[in-house]
A and B are shown apart, each in its own frame.
Chain A
Amino acid sequence: MKRLGPGLILALVVGFAFLYLPILALVAYSFNASRLVTVWGGFSTHWYGSLLSNQPLLDAAWLSVRLAFVSATLAAGLGTLAALALVRHGRFQGRLLFSGMVLAPLVMPEVITGLSLLLLFVAADVERGFWTVTIAHATFGLGFACIVVQARLAGFDRSLEEAARDLGATPLVTFWTVTLPLIWPAVAAAWMLAFTLSLDDLVIASFTTGPGATTLPMRLYSAIRLGVSPEINAACTLMIGAVALAVISASLLLKRRQVAGS
């Protein structure tokens, strides 16, 4: 194995320092006893305690999780159907329009997606809140989910399905017992991606929400606009911890499965 030259090691160190130092600084200051960023007042978990009594923030977090759960489920389901339609049904009426509509939200600026859905909801005269944001998130998560499942379907061995059909299984049974179990990892990955995107979205939610439904990013955004505070640092640290845990356990799980599969 060839060793890396000093220049390449420098590139790695500089690149990763740029990516991680800001986050590390943020985490470190969440344990600062002093409210001032310039003063290190000693180690303290005080801000985590005050976070637990911040009811509006906790409410927003719970709302965001529920919303992400529902919208990710919708996005993964519809995205899987869309992927099946695009990969399996070579030609159908309006295919070009369909694939365009699936992919367009991926490159559409969020401000435009948000504005357009708001216009729809206003015209339809529906009350804006949890469900309008859920629909908006499901719509833009659909495209991402579709791409993930499509990639998996492209390398799919159709002869397994044909065997099931030859053995007398109906199309529905074949789908349920052969196709779905085989593409399941991709569907799960699509769900996770849609869940994260929903949890992270500020712009589309701001356009499509109503007075009763303030998501976590919206709450954080208004707090950040007021200024830096160790309590926000603590909230951010908890979120970073949750994400790191999820990503690391997912990659470990995937690795174990690969080892078991090979």
Chain B
Amino acid sequence: MSAPVAPPARLGRLLVAAPYLWLLLFFLAPFAMVLRMALSDADTALPPYAPHFEGLARLGEFFARLDLENFRLLAEDSLYGQSYLYSLRVAALTTLIALAIGYPLAYAMAAAPRHWRPVLLVLVVLPFWTSFLIRVYAWIGILRPDGLLDMMLGSLGLTSEPLRLLNTEAAVLIGMVYSYLPFMVLPLYATLEKLDRSLLEAAADLGATPATAFLTVTLPLSLPGLFAGAALVFIPSVGEFVIPDLLGGPDTTLIGNLLWTTFASRDWPLASAVAIVLLVVLVLPLALLQQARLARGGP
């Protein structure tokens, strides 16, 4: 970091003030309200709901009214616990499958002739620019009974009756992997492309088989990209609710879906508590990941 030339204080302050105030008002304040809502009971928090928080004098009263009831409800109702665990499972599976498809793809892109790489990169990003609803919708047409997949498999004589993949966990996983694959490929490609090829030649000269060279040179060096890609796929997967809603069935309820239904049934305090726990569930694996990276001495 270079020490910047001190700008005139007045202009500088103005520069910071606009986005700062915007974020205080539209990010921090709403977030504080979720926290507060999660800690209030359903009676006082019913809409239309006005802020009761008036000055320091009422601070004590405010804390007295805090209520862990909603969190107790979450802990007692196994529905919520199950769907938290289920969200983590789906997100983990999505990440693993995206890695299995994304790693070879990123590796091949990085190994492709130099003038091909920008084209391949645009080809990976292009589907990401189309609406995600379209991408999910495309899979409904393929997976539904008598859809494209059944038709193709049937005409090949591989199956005699519909597979009934739509509204299953498999369909949710396909949709999630499809939607988040670019997030896995891009960071992997970025690290693999920068990889010094002479290291691989050195390994080969020293008698390593291609497989050994890959496992001892390429894979460890691509770990930063792998971690970044895994985080970028995992995070949105945990909170996802549109994909399981459209492609999943009654037993693929992710925490995002539960939050939406809780919210729609007008129990806003409980929905807020669900949101807070979701954030904690998200932050924990991320913190562990960061810890692992620091332990490895990575960036």
**Cβ–Cβ < 8 Å partners of A111 in chain B:** 239, 241, 256, 259-260, 275, 278
Binary contact track A59-98/B, C-beta < 8 Å → 1, others 0? 0000000000000000000110110110011101010011
Q: Is B67 an interface residue (CB 8 A)?
A: no
Closest chain B residue to A87, Cβ basis: B4
Q: A111-B259, A116-B34, A232-B137 are in contact. Are A251 and B108 (CB under 8 A)?
A: no
**Of B242, B271, B278, which contacts A221 at CB under 8 A?**
B242
Give the contacts of B133-155 with A (CB-CB under 8 A).
133-142, 144, 146-148, 151
Complex-state Cα separation, A8 to B263, whole angstroms: 47
**Cβ–Cβ < 8 Å partners of B241 in chain A:** 111, 203
Complex-state Cα separation, A240 to B131, whole angstroms: 8
Q: Is the CB of A142 within 8 A of B19?
A: yes
> How distant is A13 from chain B, measured CB to nearest CB, in Å?
9
Complex-state Cα separation, A217 to B268, whole angstroms: 24
> How distant is A107 from chain B, measured CB to nearest CB, in Å?
5
> How distant is A238 from chain B, measured CB to nearest CB, in Å?
10
Binary contact track B18-29/A, C-beta < 8 Å → 1, others 0? 111011101111
**Of B49, B101, B151, which contacts A122 at CB under 8 A?**
B49
Q: Is A253 an interface residue (CB 8 A)?
A: no
Q: Is A169 an interface residue (CB 8 A)?
A: no
**Cβ–Cβ < 8 Å partners of B63 in chain A:** none
**Of A20, A240, A251, which contacts B134 at CB under 8 A?**
A240
Instruction: Pick from B121-129, B216-224, B291-299 the stretch touching chain A.
Output: B121-129
Q: Is the CB of B130 within 8 A of A11?
A: no
**Cβ–Cβ < 8 Å partners of B138 in chain A:** 22-23, 25-26, 236
> How distant is B151 from chain A, measured CB to nearest CB, in Å?
6
Complex-state Cα separation, A162 to B147, whole angstroms: 64
Q: A88-B4, A102-B19, A120-B29 are in contact. Are A109 and B108 (CB under 8 A)?
A: no
Q: Is B30 an interface residue (CB 8 A)?
A: yes
Q: Is A260 an interface residue (CB 8 A)?
A: no
> How distant is B27 from chain A, measured CB to nearest CB, in Å?
5
Complex-state Cα separation, A240 to B132, whole angstroms: 11
Give the contacts of B250-274 with A (CB-CB under 8 A).
256, 259-260, 263, 268, 271-272
**Cβ–Cβ < 8 Å partners of B133 in chain A:** 200, 202, 217, 220-221, 224
- Interface residues on chain B, number (Cβ under 8 Å): 91
Q: Is the CB of A109 within 8 A of B278?
A: yes
Q: Is A115 an interface residue (CB 8 A)?
A: yes
- Interface residues on chain A, number (Cβ under 8 Å): 83
Q: Is A167 an interface residue (CB 8 A)?
A: no
Complex-state Cα separation, A74 to B280, whole angstroms: 30
**Cβ–Cβ < 8 Å partners of B147 in chain A:** 37
Q: Is the CB of A105 within 8 A of B27?
A: yes
**Cβ–Cβ < 8 Å partners of B141 in chain A:** 22, 25-26, 29, 37, 228, 233
Q: Is A52 an interface residue (CB 8 A)?
A: no
**Cβ–Cβ < 8 Å partners of B286 in chain A:** 107
> How distant is B146 from chain A, measured CB to nearest CB, in Å?
5
**Cβ–Cβ < 8 Å partners of A220 in chain B:** 131, 133, 137
Give the contacts of B1-39 with A (CB-CB under 8 A).
1-5, 7-8, 11-12, 15-16, 18-20, 22-24, 26-31, 33-34, 37
Q: Is the CB of B107 within 8 A of A8?
A: yes
Give the contacts of B86-129 with A (CB-CB under 8 A).
101-102, 104-105, 107-109, 111-114, 118, 120, 122-127, 129
**Cβ–Cβ < 8 Å partners of A251 in chain B:** 118, 122
Q: Is A151 an interface residue (CB 8 A)?
A: no
Q: A119-B268, A120-B26 are in contact. Are A228 and B4 (CB under 8 A)?
A: no
Q: Is B279 an interface residue (CB 8 A)?
A: yes
**Of B30, B144, B185, which contacts A119 at CB under 8 A?**
B30
Q: Is the CB of B30 within 8 A of A120?
A: yes
Q: Is B178 an interface residue (CB 8 A)?
A: yes
**Cβ–Cβ < 8 Å partners of A160 in chain B:** none
**Of B15, B101, B132, which contacts A200 at CB under 8 A?**
B132
Q: Is the CB of B130 within 8 A of A112?
A: no
Q: Is the CB of B142 within 8 A of A22?
A: yes
Give the contacts of A98-155 with B (CB-CB under 8 A).
98, 101-102, 104-105, 107-112, 115-117, 119-120, 122-123, 125, 135-136, 138-139, 142, 146
Q: Is the CB of B134 within 8 A of A109?
A: no
**Of B8, B107, B129, which contacts A243 at CB under 8 A?**
B129
Q: Is the CB of A120 within 8 A of B33?
A: yes
Q: Is the CB of A23 within 8 A of B127?
A: yes
A interface with B by C-beta (< 8 Å) = 1-2, 4, 8-9, 11-12, 14-16, 18-20, 22-23, 25-26, 29, 37-38, 78-79, 81-82, 84-85, 88-90, 92, 94, 97-98, 101-102, 104-105, 107-112, 115-117, 119-120, 122-123, 125, 135-136, 138-139, 142, 146, 158, 162, 171-172, 196, 199-200, 202-203, 217, 220-221, 224-225, 228, 232-233, 236, 239-240, 243-244, 246-248, 251
Contact sample, A vs B, 16 pairs, CB 8 Å cutoff: A1-B113, A15-B104, A37-B147, A78-B19, A88-B15, A90-B1, A109-B275, A111-B256, A111-B278, A135-B26, A142-B23, A162-B5, A203-B241, A220-B131, A220-B137, A243-B130
